[in-house]
Chains A and B, each alone.
Chain A
Amino acid sequence: DAGVIQSPRHEVTEMGQEVTLRCKPISGHDYLFWYRQTMMRGLELLIYFNNNVPIDDSGMPEDRFSAKMPNASFSTLKIQPSEPRDSAVYFCASSFGSGGQYFGPGTRLTVL
């Protein structure tokens, strides 16, 4: 299995621009999670989906952040407009049921 796939691996953008991060979960997994990792706050859960339906988005920082999962093999996390404080590594993870979560390699976002 290829594991969780994320793209791009690195993104550098200017403040105010729209950013879209992409994720392909492991085939057969029914849960998908988006996390953000920073030095200050560590790993934070932003939102998770079950069978493509958003279950808990209480970790999403504000309305500038949105996530979608149009089908079982694809999810996006969008930031519009981006701000420098959004700079972080964003991870996507997937799991089957309540089993262990498997993480992708992450997208390192830098907002100038």
Chain B
Amino acid sequence: GQQLNQSPQSMFIQEGEDVSMNCTSSSIFNTWLWYKQDPGEGPVLLIALYKAGELTSNGRLTAQFGITRKDSFLNISASIPSDVGIYFCAGQRNNDMRFGAGTRLTVKP
């Protein structure tokens, strides 16, 4: 099936810095979602976007559904050590969901 291109693959940042990651696809999706996965756990839903152009915030997290419906970005402001983990984007059309390869975030205190 179609794959999502997620970048960057990994990030090493200092506590307090802002983070930005994005996802692109050659296909159109109806919904974009962002998940975070901690070691030994399942992905946890952070933000869901349902309309092209939609900009949604959840605390320090902000995500946008691209106008073309083929991309999305996630920003994390003022990072803290507990933001460490792997962040996955997911594009969904009906109930078929495809995941990006993930962005591994390391936050140095």
Which residue of the partner chain, among A43, A56, A102, contacts B96 with CB atoms under 8 Å? A56
The SS class assigned to the B binding surface is strand
The count of A-to-B residue pairs whose CB atoms sit within 8 angstroms is 49
A25 in the interface (beta carbon within 8 A): no
Q: Report whether A55 and B88 are in contact in the complex, using a CB–CB cutoff of 8 Å.
A: no
Residues of A within 8 A of B100 (CB): 42
Q: Report whether A98 and B99 are in contact in the complex, using a CB–CB cutoff of 8 Å.
A: no
Which residue of the partner chain, among A48, A99, A103, contacts B42 with CB atoms under 8 Å? A103
CB-nearest residue of chain B relative to A93?
Answer: B42
Interface size class for chain B?
A: 20 to 34
Q: Report whether A55 and B42 are in contact in the complex, using a CB–CB cutoff of 8 Å.
A: no
The SS class assigned to the A binding surface is strand
Residues of B within 8 A of A102 (CB): 45
Q: Report whether B99 and A43 are in contact in the complex, using a CB–CB cutoff of 8 Å.
A: yes
Interface positions of B from 8 to 50, Cβ below 8 Å from A:
30-31, 33, 35, 40-45, 48
Min CB gap A24→B, angstroms: 14
Question: What is the number of residues of chain A that contact chain B, defined by CB distance less than 8 Å?
Answer: 22
CB-nearest residue of chain B relative to A95?
Answer: B95
B101 in the interface (beta carbon within 8 A): yes
B40, B94, B97 pick with most chain A CB within 10 angstroms: B97
Give me the interface of B with A, judged by CB distance under 8 Å.
30-31, 33, 35, 40-45, 48, 88, 92, 94-102
**9 A-B pairs closest in CB distance:** A103-B42, A43-B99, A100-B48, A100-B45, A103-B43, A106-B42, A42-B101, A105-B42, A91-B42
Give me the interface of A with B, judged by CB distance under 8 Å.
4, 31, 33, 42-43, 45, 48, 50, 55-56, 91, 93, 95, 98-106
